[in-house]
Amino acid sequence: MSIEQAPSIWQREIQDILRGASGGFLFGIPLLYTVEVWSIGSSTAAPQLLAVLGATFMVVLLLTQAVGFRRTLTIKPLDTILESIEALGIGIVCAAIALALLRRITLDTPLTETLGKLVFEGVPFSLGVALARSTLTQRSSGSGTAPRSDRRSPSTSRDQAQLTSISETIIDLDATLLGAILIAFSIAPTEEIPILAAAVPPLWLLLIMTASLVLSYMIVFASGFADRWERQQRGLLLGPVTETLVAYLVALAASMVMLIFFQQLSLQDPWHEWLSNTLVLGLPASVGGAAGRILR
């Protein structure tokens, strides 16, 4: 029996970690695009960094005691401390991945500067991990009213099913668009976008694209926030890969429109500047679009 239970236990543990990481990216991405936080992290002394880290842990501890990023409803004091340490660790690791992805830290970055950026950027990521379960609650696929039986002809039922499928697809795309705008709209007019885009090598853009797709997939399908089987049965975007790709295209289109709206891009700019700026802003837009789809 224990052998059969082990895979489900490990699967649940991995899903809990992915859920926490998803919440971390959702909360941490906006502050990641802030030049003031980069400079503060680069110039803060070690004692102050320890104080910030300690204060972050205390807040995470309180949040974990109240909700926790796992599905456990009640946990013991020792479990609360251990889960808080894990949430803080997940937040800092996610912050490190994001900073490296945007080349705010590299192998040439001094250790003190790297630690400072990790501590300050790790604050919203860690809070997002702790708040993941309470903020992005999984909806039960069995909720709602049961479908009613009717005596319509098979052709009428097929037409109705097709209309419902189209409607669900439009709603998903609308939710993706709204989520992308909600997260990326306040980032689009800032100077951080051209700064980051200028520092990213052309081939590095492929890594940003891959990370955007992976994060979108993880939030919607791998973290357990939404019922994966239910999502695959509705709409025209059948399959996680298809939905993730289409949603990413919507997020990129929204990013480009927002950059044009805030005059960050013009017809006089070269095409590679359009590409790099759009892909850099597409990272938070895709995260917001994923959140929009699971919350709609």
pLDDT in tens, 172-212: 889 999 999 999 999 999 999 999 999 999 899 999 999 99
| More confidently predicted of 133 and 96 | 96
pLDDT bracket for residue 287 (50, 70, 90):
very high
The residues near 55 (Cβ < 8 Å, ≥ 6 apart) are: none
The pTM assigned to this predicted structure is 0.83
Our CA dihedral for 90, 43, 50, 187, rounded to 10 degrees, sits at -40
Listed in sequence order, the DSSP H helices in the chain are 2-32, 35-43, 46-66, 77-101, 111-135, 154-184, 192-199, 204-217, 228-232, 240-261, 271-295
Whether the per-residue pLDDT at 269 is higher than 70: the answer is yes
Whether the per-residue pLDDT at 143 is higher than 50: the answer is no
Whether the per-residue pLDDT at 132 is higher than 60: the answer is yes
Question: Tens digit of pLDDT for each residue in 245-266?
Answer: 999 999 999 999 999 999 999 9
Whether the per-residue pLDDT at 219 is higher than 50: the answer is yes
Determine the Cα–Cα distance for residues 30 and 248; give it in Å rounded to an integer: 18
| CA atoms lying within 13 Å on the CB side of residue 211 | 21
pLDDT bracket for residue 44 (50, 70, 90):
confident
pLDDT bracket for residue 149 (50, 70, 90):
very low
Evaluate whether 273 touches 197 at the Cβ level (below 8 Å): yes
Whether the per-residue pLDDT at 242 is higher than 70: the answer is yes
pLDDT bracket for residue 167 (50, 70, 90):
confident
Percent of the chain with pLDDT over 70: 79
pLDDT at 18: 87
Break the chain into its structural domains and give their ranges: 10-137, 162-296
Determine the Cα–Cα distance for residues 126 and 118; give it in Å rounded to an integer: 11
Backbone φ and ψ for 249, nearest 5 degrees, come out as -65, -40
Q: What is the mean pLDDT of residues 263-291?
A: 95
| More confidently predicted of 152 and 78 | 78
| More confidently predicted of 8 and 128 | 128
Evaluate whether 81 touches 146 at the Cβ level (below 8 Å): no
| More confidently predicted of 62 and 79 | 62
* Least-confidence region, from 112-116, 176-180, 188-192, 292-296: 292-296
DSSP letter string, 94-105 = HHHHHHHHTTSS
